[in-house]
Structure 1
């Protein structure tokens, strides 16, 4: 199932790569969105649950929002701008830290939404999503009328 999630992440890039004239479009998008502006994520799946770890450095816990609806986990938040560390002339050699609103969505089916838990510690959001218990069909005899 983990490969299925990764396949969805690459779906758009694969679609563009199908037409040679469109091969450069994904790189144009990549240049507009620096790699550091996305929420880096690890997802682990077991028979009993999903565990999602999202790097969210410099976020305040109160600025993070987590929702689960229609088999989709949505993690969003906002990070205010950083203090200006320019010298008196306003010279800044480089500034790579980003601020603003961030959001990621993950398709994680058959989760018991009442039992989802989350923890935010040292810049990492950890969300545990227990799977619904599967009902075991024991079968039964059906009489014919």
Structure 2
């Protein structure tokens, strides 16, 4: 069996070269390389339902879409922002653009109906209430759920 060679570092400790690589990349890039900017979501089990809370700060209600298809609930949010500041001559002093887009899917069961799901958006938090009860009908068509 082949083993990687070991080197000594400045503190006379033996280090694996793979650990050395990890330490070097952490120092250069930071140690959060594997964390992606995603929609932070909590799923809370309550007595009769599940509550899904998704953080979507900076979005308007019209930017958020919720779809249900084949037992999968999909949340999508898209927002474009353009701030143009011009001086008195009409030339740009500053022009900033920002675009945010999130997309998450959750398996909720084949028999879920959109009329049994409640969704509300307030103060940057999307709250979706999903019932625990078994529902009768299976539907593979994409069905929109209104955000209140």
User: Shorter chain as normaliser: what TM range?
Assistant: 0.5 to 0.7
Q: Which has the higher strand share?
A: 2
Gaps of 5+ in 2: 1-17, 27-31, 86-91, 137-148
What is the Cα deviation at residue 101 of structure 1? 2.3
Alignment RMSD? 3.8
Cα contact 2:59–2:79 (8 A) shared by 1: yes
Q: Taking structure 1 as reference, are residues 82 and 41 closer, same or farther at Cα in structure 2, changes over 3 Å only?
A: farther
Does 2:118 correspond to 1:124?
no
Between 43-52 and 65-74, report the one with greater CA deviation: 43-52
| 1:99 alignment partner, SS class | strand
What is the Cα deviation at residue 83 of structure 1? 2.6
Runs of 4+ in structure 1 off by over 3 angstroms are none
Q: TM-score, normalised by structure 1?
A: 0.55
Q: Which has the higher helix share?
A: 1
Partner residue of 2:7?
none
Deviation digits for residues 85-138 of structure 1 (CA, Å, limit 9, x no counterpart): 8xx775xxxx9x962321111122266422101000000000001123489xxx
Q: Which has the larger Rg?
A: 2
Cα contact 1:53–1:124 (8 A) shared by 2: yes
Q: Taking structure 1 as reference, are residues 55 and 108 closer, same or farther at Cα in structure 2, changes over 3 Å only?
A: same
